[in-house]
Chain A
Amino acid sequence: MVGSTLWFSLLLAAAFAGRATALWPWPQYIQTSERRYTIFPHSFQFQYHVSSAAQVGCSVLDEAFQRYRDLLFGSVSFHFPQPMGKQHTSEKNSLVILVVTPGCDQFPSLESVENCLETFSQLVQRSPEGTFYINKTEIEDFPRFPHRGLLLDTSRHYLPLASILDTLDVMAYNKFNVFHWHLVDDSSFPYESFTFPDLTKKGSYNPATHIYTAQDVKEVIEYARLRGIRVLAEFDTPGHTLSWGPGVPGLLTPCYSGSHPSGTFGPVNPALNNTYEFMSTFFLEISSVFPDFYLHLGGDEVDFTCWKSNPDIQAFMKKKGFGEDFKKLESFYIQTLLDIVSAYGKGYVVWQEVFDNKVKVQPDTVIQVWREEMPVRYMKEMELVTSAGFRALLSAPWYLNHITYGPDWKKIYMVEPLAFEGSPEQKALVIGGEACMWGEYVDSTNLVPRLWPRAGAVAERLWSNKTVTDLDFAYKRLAPFRCELLRRGVQAQPLSVGYCDVEFEQT
C-alpha cells in the first residue's frame, strides 16, 4: 500500500456557492465557484461511472456509499423539499465514481475513493431552511505522505472494542490510513493468542472481559479495511514485556540481587534458544492474523540492568564475545527476531533505538522516530536515519498523550516533517508520521476528547501540501470541522471559546 499510485481525481459538478472552504484536511487542488446546486436527499445517489472498473458489488464502495449517505442526510426523517421552483439554483442528483484500478476485496486499496467521499461529504452544506446544497467545485487530491498513522495503546488501559471502532471512523473523517495498534506492553496482554492462550489468561487485566478475541481482531481489521485503513500491529520486545511473563514461563530474564534471583523479571531472555522458538511460533500466528505487510516489532527502551545482573546472561555475553556491551546483546536478539519475521514474508517497523543502537537491520526496515531530544533532536535523528538509507516515520512531536493548557494543536500543526538537512533522496525516505496516544492516563473515558480534534492537526500535516501552514486558515476550518465531528456523534473537544449548533449530549 505504501506508495500507492492510485490517485483519484474527483470532479464535482454540483450546485450552490458559499463557504465551501471548511474542508479538513485541505485538498491539494480546489476550485470552487459561486454556482450552487441543491441536493435532494430522496433522489440523490452515488453512482458508478459506466467505464469504472469498480461496479455494484464492490463491498468497500457499496458500504461507503451507504455510510456517507447516512452521514450526509442522517437516518432521521425530515421533510424533503420537493424539487419545484428552480429559481437560480439547480439540482444535482448524483456523485459519479470512476475507479481505474479497483481491488475491492484487497486490503488497503480503495482508500482514495473513500477519501473522496469524505471530501464530498464535507462540501455539502445546509441552508438555514434545511435544504442541502453544494457549490460547484473541482478538486484534485492526493496525500503528501503515504503513511498517516494513529497509535492507540491497549495495554496500559484496555479499550473496549467500540472505542477502537469509533476511532477508526474518526480516522477516516481525517483521512488517516494507518491504525498502529500497540496491543500489548508491561501492564497487560489483552491479545488472545490461539497458539499461546495462557498469554491472555495470565497476562490480561481480566481474561474474561479485558481481552481481544480472534473475532474482535478480525472485526477491527475488516472495519478498518472498509475505511481504507491499514492495521499495523505492534508486539514490542524485548523490553515492555512484563505481561508476557506469567503466560510463558522462562521467557523473561530473571533479575539477580547479588548471587540470588530477586524474584523480579526483566526483558525477554535473549540467551535461551527457547525464547526464539517461542517467538518463531508466536510471530507465525501474528503474521497470519494481521494481513498488513508490516509488523511493528518495538525494540524501544530496553533496560540493561536486569540482563547485567543475571549470571547466565553474563556467561552468554562472554561466549559471544560481546564484552560489556549490552547493545550487542540487544542487537543479537533483534537481528534474530527480524530474521524470523522476514522469513514469514513480512516487513517491519521498529522504534528508533534499534537504529541508534546500531542493530544490523535489513535495508527496507522502517524506523519510527519518537524521542524529542535524546540522543539528538528529532529532526537530526530524521537526518541520520535517512542518510543511512532507511525509511523514516515521524512521531516525536506528536505524542498527544502529553497535554498542556490551551490550544496545543497549533504546535502540533506547525511541525514540518521534512525540516531537516538532507538530499531530496533522503526526504523521499520519509514515508509519513503517526500521532501517538499512549495509555498511561488514557482509557475510554477520556480517549475521544483528548484525541480529537488535536490529532486532526497531524492528519492535515501529513495529507495536505506543505505550503498549507497558515494557522488562521487552519483554525477557520478546524473549528467547523470539530462541530461537524460533534454532529457525527464524536465527542471532540473545543479548540477555544464558542459553540456548535449541535453540541455533544450526555447520555
Chain B
Amino acid sequence: MITLNYDNNKKSISIPTKIFINNEWVDSIDGNENFSLINPTNEECLGIIGLGGRKDVDRAVEAARSAMRGKWSTMAPLDRGILLNKLADKLEEKREEMATIESINVGKPIGESFVYDLKQSITFLRYFAGWADKITGRTIPISSSPDTSTPTRQVLAYTKQVPLGVCALILPWNFPLQLLMFKLAPALAAGNTVIIKPSEFTPLSTFYLAQLIKEVGFPAGVVNIVCGLGSVVGDAMSSHMKINKIGFTGSTKVGKMVQNSATNSNLKHCSLELGGKSPIIIFNDVENLDLVVIHSFHGLFWNAGQCCSAASRIYVQSEIYDQYVEKIKKQVELRVLGDPLNKDTHQGPQVNKNQFESILRYIEIGKREGATLVCGGKRFGNKGYYIEPTVFSNVTDVMTIAREEIFGPVMSILKFDTVQEVIDRANDSEFGLVGAVFTKDINKSIIVSDQVQSGLVWVNSFNIIDPSIPWGGFKSSGKGRDASEYCLSVWTETKTTVLDVKL
C-alpha cells in the first residue's frame, strides 16, 4: 500500500500495490525484488513496491484463461459495453484522484493529466463500450463452385470476429493510464481477458484503476495486473505459451525483443506501438505563423518531450526560418517549470534519473556536433529531474539529435527549400509514427501528407488524438493500430465457417 499526500497534506490517496489476480490483491510468489518509487519532482521515495515474478505471471494467466470460460464468455456483448461505460463513469467520478496520482508518479503537470490524460482515458472507454455489440462479421456469397460435379451446390460462408483470448498488455511510463486505455478498452470490448504489466516506474494509476474495475463488477480474472521488470515479467509474458496476444507500447529496442519472444514461443499475435522521430513541415505560405508556432511548440514540448509522437524534427521553409526560430524562443521564455501539482506549471520534471541523464547527454552531443543552441541546454534548478526547454537551430539531417529519439524537451529546427526535398528528408528515418504539414495550399496539404511515410499525419494541426482515429506507425515505429474500428481486427480473430447446404 502506498499513500500519496497532497494539497498541503489535506488530502490523501491510498493505493494497494500488490499483485492483482481474480479481483484480489495477493502477495507475489517469486518476485524477490523490492522497488523504490521515486518522486521525480523532489527525488524522494514515494514508497516501496514488491515486484512480481514469473510464477505470478503464470498464476495471472490461469486466472485469465478461467475467466475466458466463465461468465465473461457467456455475457452478451451489450452487457460488456455496459460495464465499460460504468467504468468510464467511475473514472469520471475519480478524475481528480486519478489525475493527481498520474501527476505525482510521472511528474506531468496537473493541467495536462486532468484535462487530457483523463479525458482520453474516459473517452476511449466510452467509445469502445459502444463497439462491444457491433463487431460484425460477413456472410459471403462464395464466388466459384466447390466442385464441377454439382455446380449449383449451395455453400454458405460466414465469418465471426471472435476474441483472441488472454491478452498481455505491456505499457510505458509516459502516459500510464491513457496508453493502458488505448489497449484495455478495445481488448475488453472484444471479449478478451487481460494481464497488464504497467511500467515499474509508474504503476500507481493502474493499481488504482484495478479497484474501480472490481467495484464496477467485471468478473474475477478478466483483468489482472503483475507489475515487474521488463526482463522478468515482460519477458515471461512475451514468451508465455498460453498467452494469445501481446500488445506493447514502448521503445523500438524493446519492441523487437517482445516480437522475437512472441514468435519463438507460440507465435502469439503481437502489436507494437514504438518510438518516433516525427517531422513537422512548415511551408512559407502559412497564414498564421503564430498559430503554427504554438502547435509545433506543444508538438515537441508536451509531457516534457516524453511522447512517442513528439515533433522532434521541425522543418521550416527558408523564407520564414529565422522568424520561426525567434518566435519559438519567445514561447520558451513563457514556459513555467515547477511543481506538477501547481495549476500554473507548464512543464514538470523528466520521469526518472536515467531519462534525465540520457537527455543531458544528447544535449551535449548536439552542442558538440555544431547545432546552434538557441536557448536552454542544461538542468533546471537543483532538485528534481528538471531540464530547461532546449532549442537547437541550424540542425542538419546527419546530426545525432536529428536521427535518434531523445524523449526529452529538446527541439531541433531544420531548414528546407523545396517540396520534394523536404519530403525526402522527412522520410529519411527508420521511424514513421506521426507527421504534420502546415500550409494553406490544397494540393500541398494532400500530396505532402500522402507522401510522408507516417502512420498519422496532421494537417494544420497537431496532437488531435481521438478514440475514433487509428493510431500507429509505419516502419520501425510499430505495427498494428490502436484506436478506431481498425484496432478491433487486432483484438479479435476471424473465424470462418463454411457450410455445405446441399439437401
Do A and B associate with each other?
no
